[in-house]
Homo-oligomer: A and B are copies of this chain.
Amino acid sequence: METRPYVPWELMNSFMIDVFKAYGVPEEDAKICADVLLESDRRGIESHGCNRFKPIYIDRIINGTLLPKTEIEIVKETPTTVVMDAHDGMGMVASHRMMEMLVEKAGKLGMAGGAIRNSTHFGIAGYWTDMAAKAGMIGVAGTNARPSIAPTFGVENMLGTNPLTFSLPTDEDFAFCIDCATSIVQRGKIEYYARSGKDTPAGMVVTRDGSTVTDSAEILKMLVAGTAALAPLGGGPGDEMCGYKGYGYATVVEILSAALSGGNFMKALSGVSPEGKPQMYHLGHFFFVVDPEAFAGGDTFRKTAGDICRALRASAKAPGYDRIYTAGEKEYLTWLERKDKGVPVGEAVQKEMIALRDKHSLPYRFPFEN
C-alpha cells in the first residue's frame, strides 16, 4: 500500500509549470516538460518522474548544463526524415517537436525517422513512442546516456543504459509498450535498493577485480569511482547467459543515437569536463514511426496485437505466480489506481517542492502541509 501523501495531478502540473517558468522555460515548453515528467508518475516509473524534477532538470538549468530556452535547429529534413540540433536546450521539448513532425510524415508516407543531437535528458522513452501509438502508429525510440554498461568480457563503463523502446497500438485501452534499459537494471534501481537498505542481487554489476559485490551503497560508490559498471541484460562479464545480446542492443542504441544525428557518444556524454567541471551532456536520440495503414491496415494490426497480448496473459502460470502481464499493462494499472488520487510524493520531494515554492514566492499550498 502507498503510504506517501498524494498531490492532485492538476496541482502538481501547475506547480511544475510555474517553477519551470521561474527558471526561464517558456510556458508552452514548460507544459510539455511537466507532462512528460508526470507521465512517468502516472505509470509508476518513479525513477523518471517528479523525483527528478529538481535534481535533474532544475539543478542542471541552475548549473548551466541545460538551457531553459530550446533553440531547435532543423539540420536536415526530407519527406520521411528529420535531423535536429537541440543546442543543449530541453530534450523533452525537442523530442516533442520531433514526434509531431514524424507522426505527420508517417501519416503521409507510412514511415518516418528522426534523430536529435546536442540534446539533454528526454524523460521516459515510452512517452515518445506512445505519441505514435496514440496516433495508431508504431513508435520506436532510443537515447544514449552517460556511460554505465560494460561490454561482454569487459568491466569499464562504456555504454549508456540506452533504452530500446517500442510502443505498438492494440485494440485495448493501452498500447503494448516495452520501455526499458538494455542493462539488467539502471543506476536508479540500485539507488532504490540503497535507500531501502536492501542488497543488490549478485550479477547486476561487474567489478574491475572480478569480485562479487551486493552492498548497494558500496556499489553506488564503485560506479562513481569506475571500479564497477552495470552488466548488460543477460549478465556479465562472461557470456554464459548470453549477456552479449543485451550488450549488442545497448550498442545498437549507442550507434543509432549518435550516428544518425552526427552527435556525440560514450565518454563524451559524461557531463563532466576533463577538469572535473560540469559540462553540457550533448546527448543524442533517435525515433522511428511506422503507420500500419501502409501495411495490412490499422484495424488488423491492433486486433492481432491485442490477440497476442490476451493469449500471453491467458497462458499457463508458473508455480507461485497467479498472473501474467504484457508490457505496458502494469503501468496502465498504476494509472487506474492513481487517476483520482494524484501523484504520491515522498519526503525528499516534499521538501524540494516547498523550497522551490518559497524561493519563487509561488501561491501554492500542498496537501502534505496540512
**Residues of chain B within 8 A of A154, CB atoms compared:** 312, 315-318, 321, 324
Contact B178 A245 (CB under 8 A): yes
**Residues of chain B within 8 A of A158, CB atoms compared:** 311-312, 315
A320/B185 contact (C-beta < 8 A), A109-B80, A296-B259 known: no
Question: In the complex, which of the residues B79, B110, B241, B312 contacts A81, with contact meaning CB atoms closer than 8 Å?
Answer: B110
CA distance in complex: A292, B256 (Å)? 10
Interface string of A1-28 (1 = CB under 8 A from B): 0000000000000000000000000000
How distant is A202 from chain B, measured CB to nearest CB, in Å? 10
List 8 tightest A-B contacts by C-beta distance, closest first: A178-B248, A262-B296, A237-B318, A259-B304, A210-B319, A111-B111, A153-B321, A156-B316
CA distance in complex: A297, B295 (Å)? 28
Contact A317 B255 (CB under 8 A): no
Question: In the complex, which of the residues B168, B233, B251, B259 contacts A242, with contact meaning CB atoms closer than 8 Å?
Answer: B233
Q: Does A184 contact B (CB under 8 A)?
A: yes
Contact B81 A111 (CB under 8 A): yes
Q: A313-359: which residues lie under 8 A (CB-CB) from chain B?
A: 315-321, 323-327
Interface string of A89-115 (1 = CB under 8 A from B): 000000000000000000001111101
The oligomer's copy count stands at 2
Question: In the complex, which of the residues B241, B292, B318 contacts A259, with contact meaning CB atoms closer than 8 Å?
Answer: B292
CA distance in complex: A83, B210 (Å)? 50
**Residues of chain B within 8 A of A235, CB atoms compared:** 241
Q: Does A275 contact B (CB under 8 A)?
A: no
**Residues of chain B within 8 A of A164, CB atoms compared:** 249
A240/B304 contact (C-beta < 8 A), A155-B317, A261-B296 known: no
Q: Does A75 contact B (CB under 8 A)?
A: yes
Contact B290 A241 (CB under 8 A): no
**Residues of chain B within 8 A of A317, CB atoms compared:** 153-155
CA distance in complex: A260, B297 (Å)? 7
Contact B304 A78 (CB under 8 A): no
Contact B176 A255 (CB under 8 A): yes
**Residues of chain B within 8 A of A309, CB atoms compared:** 251
Question: In the complex, which of the residues B240, B259, B295 contacts A300, with contact meaning CB atoms closer than 8 Å?
Answer: B259
Interface centre among A76, A81, A180 (most CB of B within 10 A): A81
Question: In the complex, which of the residues B209, B246, B267, B308 contacts A265, with contact meaning CB atoms closer than 8 Å?
Answer: B308
Question: In the complex, which of the residues B209, B240, B256 contacts A168, with contact meaning CB atoms closer than 8 Å?
Answer: B256
Question: In the complex, which of the residues B76, B260, B266, B296 contacts A76, with contact meaning CB atoms closer than 8 Å?
Answer: B296
**Residues of chain B within 8 A of A295, CB atoms compared:** 76, 81, 83, 113, 115, 260-262
**Residues of chain B within 8 A of A150, CB atoms compared:** 315, 318
Question: In the complex, which of the residues B236, B240, B288 contacts A318, with contact meaning CB atoms closer than 8 Å?
Answer: B236
Contact B304 A265 (CB under 8 A): yes
Contact A234 B234 (CB under 8 A): yes
7 further interface pairs, Cβ-Cβ under 8 Å (given A109-B111, A158-B311): A117-B296, A150-B315, A155-B318, A184-B242, A233-B245, A259-B302, A288-B288
CA distance in complex: A323, B238 (Å)? 11
